[in-house]
């Protein structure tokens, strides 16, 4: 008569063994996960060291940019810029490694959850089987196989415990299923992040190549002589002045009537900052630099805002919109205008220009979202150092035009607008 009681105790023991095995397997998996976490922490510490190195290069580039523009200084700046870009590449590689380890960690944890679910299913199956056997007996049979009512109620209590344990396991099973789905979503998100890093890594490789080409070109043009370099700068300045005069004459002939009320109200947030770390090096209008060097802007003042940014800094669209033009004035006339540029038209009747880029990541006709990376900063065109030139126009006034320059003897394609419809970017940022 005690056989049934021992059978119940046996199944309780079996259940404990099942749950213990789940715990032990989980502990084993946790060791692997723990090792991965330590590796991820190690990668993160290395990334911090590389970021410190990048910041030091950035500071050195900025310092060199403030010094007198000599050939030796420019070569030093190019060398430091190249080192910074190489450090950027190492940083991105480190991020890729860290993300890969995170995905590996995630895969182990997902597999652990799958094993937990399978083991809990087995435990529940045993409990259900046991309950079915117990429930096949009548109440009288349950009383008769026990010596007294106390034993009978003890068996009932054990049965209730079985039911409660089964309910808990079913609840855990549901929770693990949800966790598994969440882990799956995290894995897909990390995969997308990794793909984005790979694209950034390719961009940085291109930037290093561009930087090396620029260095070689500079040395070829000057034959590595300071006197030749100074003459090159003087020639480019004269070309820029003459080209700006041609553009001004062309723009003065443009006449566009625009209802000012069609423009968005002035205020912060109408446009987003096109760069993460904002450092303004020149403001809009008759700035001290424009006033001191009226020949640079033909007395019309600076037609945008300049943001200090070393070569390779990601640049973002200030608002959603459509790319209405991209170009490179260096193709027509080297070092005297915008260099590589992007023009984006926005739904709010504003159009933005991003100039002096090292690399363009969008194409004409492409729709872009606010904050989307559209290119990388550089020092193409006429610059006194790497930066982003950011201009805002009234949309109806600006167009992408081609002029035949007498200065360069070539055709140049770039954004053109009546001077009165160049707007102060800081009115909307």
pLDDT of residue 127: 64
Decide if pLDDT at 81 tops 60.
yes
The whole-number pLDDT of residue 35 equals 80
Residue 77 scores a pLDDT above 80: yes
Indicate the range of 41-45, 64-68, 292-296, 373-377 predicted with least confidence.
Answer: 292-296
Sorted by where each starts, the structural domains of the chain and their CATH numbers stand as 3-214 (no CATH), 225-427 (2.70.70.10)
Range of weakest confidence among 7-16, 111-120, 193-202: 7-16
Structure pTM? Answer: 0.76
The chain-wide mean pLDDT, for the chain, equals: 81
User: Which is more confident, 80 or 183?
Assistant: 80
- In the three-class reduction of DSSP (H, G, I as helix; E, B as strand; rest coil), residue 299 is classed as coil
Q: Determine the Cα–Cα distance for residues 262 and 343; give it in Å rounded to an integer.
A: 20
User: Percent of the chain beyond pLDDT 90?
Assistant: 26
pLDDT at 155 over 70: no
- Report the pLDDT averaged over residues 395-423: 90
For Cα atoms 166, 168, 171, give the angle at the middle one, nearest 5 degrees: 110
Q: Tens digit of pLDDT for each residue in 338-347?
A: 999 999 999 9
Q: Over the stretch 8-32, which tens digit does the pLDDT of each residue have?
A: 444 454 455 455 555 545 555 555 7
Q: What is the DSSP track for 261-288? A: GGSPPS-TTSS--SSSS--EEE-SBS-H
pLDDT at 219: 85
Identify the band that residue 297 occupies on the pLDDT scale cut at 50, 70 and 90.
Answer: very low
For residues 42 and 101, the answer to whether their CB atoms sit within 8 Å is no
């Amino acid at each position: 008569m005690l056989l049934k009681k021992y059978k119940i105790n046996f199944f309780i023991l079996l259940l404990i063994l099942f749950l213990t095995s789940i715990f032990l397997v989980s502990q084993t998996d946790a060791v692997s996960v723990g090792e991965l976490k330590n590796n991820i922490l190690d990668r993160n510490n290395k990334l911090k060291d590389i970021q410190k190195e990048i910041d030091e290069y950035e500071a050195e580039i900025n310092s060199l940019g403030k010094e007198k523009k000599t050939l030796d200084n420019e070569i030093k700046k190019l060398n430091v810029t190249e080192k910074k870009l190489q450090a950027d590449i190492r940083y991105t590689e480190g991020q890729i490694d860290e993300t890969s380890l995170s995905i590996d960690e995630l895969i182990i944890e997902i597999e652990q959850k799958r094993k937990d679910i399978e083991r809990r299913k087995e435990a529940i199956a045993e409990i259900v089987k046991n309950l079915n056997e117990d429930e096949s007996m009548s109440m009288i049979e349950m009383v008769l196989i026990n010596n007294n009512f106390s034993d009978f109620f003890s068996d009932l209590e054990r049965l209730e415990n079985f039911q409660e344990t089964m309910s808990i396991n079913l609840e855990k099973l549901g929770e693990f299923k949800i966790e598994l789905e969440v882990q799956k979503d995290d894995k897909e998100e990390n995969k997308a992040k990794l793909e984005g890093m790979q694209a950034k890594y390719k961009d940085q490789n291109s930037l290093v190549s561009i930087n090396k080409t620029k260095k070689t070109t500079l040395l070829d043009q000057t034959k590595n002589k300071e006197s030749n370099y100074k003459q090159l700068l003087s020639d480019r300045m004269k070309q820029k002045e003459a080209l700006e005069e041609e553009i001004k004459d062309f723009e003065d002939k443009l006449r566009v009537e625009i209802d000012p009320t069609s423009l968005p109200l002035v205020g912060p947030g109408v446009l987003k900052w096109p760069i993460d770390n904002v450092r303004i090096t020149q403001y809009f209008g008759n700035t001290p630099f424009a006033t001191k060097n009226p020949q640079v802007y033909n007395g019309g003042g600076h037609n945008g805002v300049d943001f200090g940014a070393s070569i390779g800094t990601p640049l973002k669209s200030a608002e959603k919109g459509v790319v209405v033009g991209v170009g490179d004035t260096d193709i027509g006339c080297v070092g005297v205008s915008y260099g590589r540029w992007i023009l984006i038209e926005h739904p709010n009747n504003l159009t933005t220009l991003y100039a002096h880029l090292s690399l363009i990541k969008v194409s004409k006709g492409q729709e872009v979202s606010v904050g989307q990376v559209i290119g990388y900063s550089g020092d193409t065109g006429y610059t006194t150092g790497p930066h982003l030139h950011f201009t805002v126009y009234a949309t109806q006034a600006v167009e992408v035009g081609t002029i035949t320059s007498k200065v360069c003897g070539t055709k140049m394609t770039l954004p053109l607008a009546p001077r009165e419809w160049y707007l102060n970017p800081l009115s909307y940022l």
